C-alpha cells in the first residue's frame, strides 16, 4: 500500500512541479499565472498535452521544442523531479502527523521550490513568494502546538536567528546577503522551529562556503562575485527538517561521550 501512495504522491509532485515552472515563467514575464495556455518561450507556439507531460515530454522530445527545435531548459525536468522527491519525503516523514500537516508541508515546500529557482536565476527573493509561505508555516506550527499560544515559545526562538542574519546584512551593507534572505530565514524559523533552525543555518553556511570556494577555484569567480544564498538556505532547511533531530542527537553524543 505504501508503495502505491508513494508513486501517487511522486506523480502529484511532478504535476505540481510542472505548474511551478509555469508560475516561474509567468513571474519572469510579469504575466498572471492563472489564465492563458502554455507556449514555447522561443517560438510562442502553443503546447499540446503531449508536450506538457512532466519529465517524459522532455525525454521524448530529446530536450528540444517540437516546433522550433530550440533546446528546452534543464530547469523544467529538474524542478519537476525535485518537487516529486520533496513530496515523497513529505509522505514518509510528515503524513503520519496528520493530513493537515501534510497539506501545509506540500504548500510550503512548493513555495521553497519557487524561491530556490527564482533566487538562483535572478538573485532576488520576491516578498510575494515568502510572505504567503510564512503564513502557511505559521498555521502549520500553530496546529502542531495544538493552538496553544503558551506552547509556542519554540517558535519565537526559531525566528530569533533571523535577526543574526539581519545583523550580517546591516554590517555588510547588503553585499553578502539581501533583505530577502532575512525574510527567508524568518520563514525557515517558523517552518523548522528551535533548535532545527540552528542546524539549517549551520549547513547553509557550510554548503555556501564549500560551493563558493569551488566556484572561485574552478570557475574563476572572485569574492566579489554575487552568489545567491537562498538555494543554500533552502537545501539546508530540508536537510534539517528531515534529519535535524538525528544530527543534533549525534552531535550531543559526540560532545558528551568522547
65 sits near Zn ion (criterion: CB under 5 A): yes
The continuous run of DSSP H or E covering 236 comes out as helix 230-256
DSSP code for 123: S
Report d(CA 50, CA 71) in Å as an integer.
17
Residue 58 vs 140, nearer CB to Zn ion? 58
Of the candidates 8, 68, 167, 171, which one interacts with Zn ion according to CB under 5 A?
Answer: 68
Cell numbers of 120, please? Answer: 538562483
Q: How far apart are CA 78 and CA 27, in angstroms?
A: 18
Q: Which is nearer to Zn ion, 6 or 73 (CB)?
A: 73
Minimum CB separation of residue 57 from Zn ion in Å reads 13
Piece in contact with Zn ion (CB under 5 A), picked from 68-76, 79-87, 158-166, 196-204: 68-76
Alpha helices in the chain (DSSP H): 2-29, 56-60, 75-93, 99-122, 127-144, 153-159, 162-171, 179-192, 196-219, 230-256
Q: By CB under 5 A, is residue 170 in contact with Zn ion? A: no
Stretch that binds Zn ion, among 35-43, 139-147, 231-239, 241-249 (CB under 5 A): 35-43
**Which residues in 78-117 contact Zn ion (CB under 5 A)?**
none
* 74 binding Zn ion? (CB under 5 A): no
Number of residues that bind Zn ion (CB under 5 A): 6
DSSP state for residue 41 in the 8-state scheme = T
* Of 71 and 98, CB closest to Zn ion: 71
Closer of 46 and 226 to Zn ion (Cβ) = 46
- Name the nearest CA neighbour of 124 among 187, 177, 200: 177
Distance CA 241, CA 160 (A): 17
Binding residues for Zn ion restricted to 40-59, rule: CB under 5 A: 40, 42-43
User: Closest separation between CB of residue 223 and Zn ion, Å?
Assistant: 40
168 in Cβ contact with 179 (< 8 Å): no
Q: Where on the chain is the footprint of Zn ion (CB under 5 A)?
A: 40, 42-43, 65, 67-68
Amino acid at each position: 500500500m505504501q508503495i502505491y501512495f508513494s508513486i501517487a504522491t511522486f506523480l502529484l509532485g511532478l504535476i505540481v512541479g510542472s505548474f511551478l515552472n509555469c508560475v516561474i515563467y509567468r513571474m519572469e514575464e510579469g504575466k498572471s499565472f492563472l489564465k492563458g495556455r502554455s507556449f514555447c518561450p522561443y517560438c510562442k507556439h502553443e503546447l499540446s498535452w503531449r508536450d506538457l507531460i512532466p519529465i517524459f515530454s522532455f525525454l521524448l522530445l530529446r530536450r528540444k521544442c517540437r516546433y522550433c527545435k530550440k533546446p528546452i531548459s534543464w530547469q523544467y525536468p529538474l524542478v519537476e523531479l525535485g518537487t516529486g522527491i520533496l513530496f515523497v519525503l513529505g509522505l514518509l516523514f510528515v503524513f503520519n502527523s496528520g493530513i493537515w500537516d501534510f497539506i501545509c508541508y506540500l504548500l510550503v515546500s512548493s513555495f521553497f521550490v519557487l524561491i530556490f529557482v527564482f533566487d538562483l536565476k535572478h538573485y532576488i527573493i520576491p516578498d510575494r513568494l515568502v510572505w504567503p509561505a510564512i503564513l502557511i508555516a505559521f498555521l502549520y506550527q500553530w496546529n502542531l502546538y495544538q493552538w496553544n499560544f503558551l506552547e509556542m515559545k519554540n517558535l519565537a526562538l526559531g525566528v530569533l536567528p533571523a535577526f543574526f542574519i539581519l545583523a550580517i546584512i546591516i554590517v555588510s551593507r547588503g553585499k553578502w546577503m539581501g533583505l530577502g534572505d532575512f525574510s527567508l530565514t524568518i520563514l525557515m524559523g517558523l517552518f523548522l522551529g528551535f533548535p532545527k533552525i540552528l542546524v539549517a543555518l549551520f549547513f547553509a553556511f557550510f554548503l555556501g562556503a564549500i560551493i563558493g570556494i569551488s566556484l572561485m577555484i574552478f570557475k574563476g569567480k572572485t569574492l566579489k562575485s554575487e552568489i545567491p544564498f537562498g538555494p543554500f538556505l533552502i537545501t539546508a532547511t530540508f536537510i534539517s527538517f528531515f534529519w535535524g533531530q538525528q544530527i543534533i542527537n549525534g552531535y550531543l553524543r559526540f560532545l558528551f561521550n568522547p
